């Protein structure tokens, strides 16, 4: 693949991938996409939560509230 003249090489010298042999770009990409359920959180929301555990705890609390609010139809 030819390098575009307008790009800058901002990799550190110790990351010299030209010395690697047999690497395949994206080798596990499809398997990764199939086994993950990542969600993008907007920056204003992400500011509130320290980590993924905090997000999960908040969502579980919301689920509990929502389940109590919904009354089964008789």
CA dihedral of 61, 66, 71, 73, whole degrees rounded to 10 = -130
SS3 7: coil
Rounded Cα gap, residues 11 and 56, in angstroms: 35
pTM assigned to the model: 0.47
**pLDDT one-digit tens code per residue, 37-59:** 778 899 999 999 999 999 999 99
Q: Tell me the three-class secondary structure of 47-69, residue by residue.
A: CCCCCHHHHHHHHHHHHHHHHHH
- Under the banding of pLDDT at 50, 70 and 90, the label for residue 62 is very high
């Amino acid at each position: 693949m030819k390098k575009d003249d307008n790009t800058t090489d901002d990799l550190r010298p110790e990351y010299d991938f030209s010395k690697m042999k047999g690497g395949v770009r994206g080798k596990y990409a499809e398997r990764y996409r199939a086994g993950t359920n990542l969600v993008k959180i907007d920056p204003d929301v992400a500011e509130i939560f320290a980590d993924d555990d905090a997000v999960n705890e908040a969502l579980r609390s919301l689920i509990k509230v929502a389940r109590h609010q919904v009354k089964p139809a008789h």
